[in-house]
Chain A
């Protein structure tokens, strides 16, 4: 029932704590945090010498797609959870674009029950903002919120009708519900398959211009300002989008931004020889844009980093680039992608961890994501310097299309705990 993890490098972005110490866990919660190398709770049922490894809150991921229900061949809640805990993610939000779409109270309850029965990580369903995600009629936001939907989103294709979007935001605001919206003017980007620009032109591929994201962000932030709705701009890919959000925020709007972990790591040139594993939405941008995005993360302007986990089976990816599905498996590479920014210099460990722990948890009002007394004991032990080769056949998702395939990465999760229970132990750990 009780566990003491000591001699760990405690990292808590919420308080800025970065010191050797111990945590004491009892009945699923962190009960005590102390400093020093020795075990202050030698009386605990079990104790674990972390040997100086990093101990941080488990990661909170705001954007995961599984195929359950409807596309179980891609991913189930159970397989996504298995992959998540190996990547240090202990809580994640699942998107509603399943079949059927999560636009009904019964489906929200279904996800909650399936997650409880089959997944080690904490799973939170996001409800569909419009019925069938068709962008035409508001879904039952109020009833789904009561049933446990943590936020509402129209998934990859935002609501095109600004009037409906405004009403949905006003309605959500009155219920205190949060809307997650991908800023994207589809009239500009709808036919695109990679970043819009010279490279797409040379490759003969249709582009998704950055303006599409800016226009979407300008619209949605204006509506959030008008309605008072809490808005999370999903997976922004340029620093200008972040500036648009910051502008709205300076006028009192409740606007947050997220960015996909892989967008800090890759640029459009990684698409290279039409590699469909690098086909994602939003697309990998050019190098300058990537650098600006890293700078914005360093300045703390990006509220959360997400895995944007969207696994696709081979039959969806072994196709000509234009025809292949968007999406990449991402749960197991979030931490390594962020740690690459630490190893390469710009970020400190705490700066890399904040957008995947306390900040996303705060955005959704969750108690976890921090090392604090009487909060859920969702913690990870990781070795930030441990080198590894990312090979897709070793990824734990049901579909393993990762742009990191074949890349050398540094930083591995060695143990993952959810509610004080060890749910993952890396094979290298005795």
Chain B
């Protein structure tokens, strides 16, 4: 154990963004998540570090995948979990985000996991409550546990993150995953290249830590170790941002021919849910270079680690 690691303590109240985390913080989370992943694979029940704690899943936006992932993670650590898909309830009655937060705060939870359609929503909420807040996705801003799970999946697959060439392709403009994952991988020393049609490629991606931003997917793929495809929402392909599905697939769809431009051992990732035949060919999504299901598995492990660190005392 190095001296630095010996004195290290995870010193964050909330997880709202990757911004503010140091490479050491991220390494710490990934190391702990790795242990949880191994424990689960070995069928070992982890220590119930969240026993007696209450974790509330507060999802203002519909999500089954992320909400279940957090729920499973919290339960594995012994927490009592309440999942509230708010989209369908009080918000409709006109209650504001802050009203909801104050109400929940009065019930004294230990952690709030929040997804909200407005960028900055969880941040606003964190100012009003006394417990840890974990951002499970806010608008087009951040999805920090996704960034961390991508980093963990890459580290386990490649044995390292530093020095890898990562290409992220898809709707960069509207993707919180792109922001969180780019920041995480950049902090961990990877070279992240973003690729999208011009209408979905915002300017200033170098401030996220991206090494380049391009509309030429074929060129971006040269020498890539990791190819991460993002979901393209159907409503972006009706002519407002992009002419059509087929034109998108023609220029940006990940096909076998295109994947051949990347390194021979390149790994394919996707945060899901996938649009098969639009951003990715089924044969690739299901192929042996895809770690898409492992990403889902690592999602639970990373969320266990994050909950442990924020709500379960020192790890």
Contact = CB atoms under 8 A, between A and B. Distances in A.
A174 B197 contact: yes
| Chain A interface size, under 10 / 10 to 19 / 20 to 34 / 35 or more | 10 to 19
Interface stretch (B125-133, B238-246, B307-315): B238-246
Nearest to B244: A140
Given A137-B238, A174-B215, A142 B198 contact: no
A167 B239 CA distance: 10
A274 B281 CA distance: 62
B251 interface: yes
B246 A143 contact: yes
B250 interface: yes
Contacts of B241: 138, 167
B218 to A, nearest CB: 13
B243 A140 contact: yes
A138 B215 contact: no
Nearest to B251: A142
A204 B162 CA distance: 75
B240 A167 contact: yes
B247 A142 contact: yes
Interface string A167-182: 1001101110000000
Contacts of B251: 142
Interface string A231-247: 00000000000000000
Contact of A171 (B197, B246, B250): B197
B315 to A, nearest CB: 46
B199 interface: yes
Nearest to A146: B250
Contacts, number: 47
B243 A139 contact: yes
A136 B238 CA distance: 9
Contacts of A140: 243-244, 246-247
Contacts of A195: none
Contacts of B199: 167, 170-171
Contacts of A167: 199, 240-241
A366 to B, nearest CB: 25
Given A143-B250, A174-B215, A138 B243 contact: yes
B197 A141 contact: no
A50 to B, nearest CB: 49
B198 A136 contact: no
Q: Size class of B's contact patch?
A: 10 to 19
* Chain A, interface SS category: helix
Interface in A130-181: 130-131, 136-143, 164, 167, 170-171, 173-175
A126 to B, nearest CB: 16
A173 B244 CA distance: 17
A358 to B, nearest CB: 30
Contacts of A171: 197-199, 242-243
B8 to A, nearest CB: 44
A143 B242 CA distance: 12
B215 A137 contact: no
Nearest to B252: A142
Contacts of B198: 170-171, 173-174, 227
Given A170-B199, A174-B197, A136 B239 contact: yes
Q: Which of B198, B240, B242, B246 has the most CB of A within 10 A?
A: B198
Contacts of A164: 239-240
Interface string B217-250: 0000000000000000000001111111011001
Given A140-B244, A140-B246, A131 B239 contact: yes
A102 to B, nearest CB: 14
A130 B239 contact: yes
Given A142-B247, A143-B247, A137 B239 contact: yes
Contacts of B240: 137-138, 164, 167
B105 to A, nearest CB: 40
A99 B246 CA distance: 23
A140 B246 CA distance: 9
Nearest to B239: A137
Interface of A: 130-131, 136-143, 164, 167, 170-171, 173-175, 227
15 contacts: A131-B239, A137-B239, A138-B241, A139-B239, A140-B244, A140-B247, A141-B247, A142-B250, A143-B246, A143-B250, A171-B199, A171-B242, A171-B243, A174-B215, A175-B215
Report, nearest first, the 4 A-B pairs whose CB atoms are least far apart.
A137-B239, A174-B198, A174-B215, A140-B243
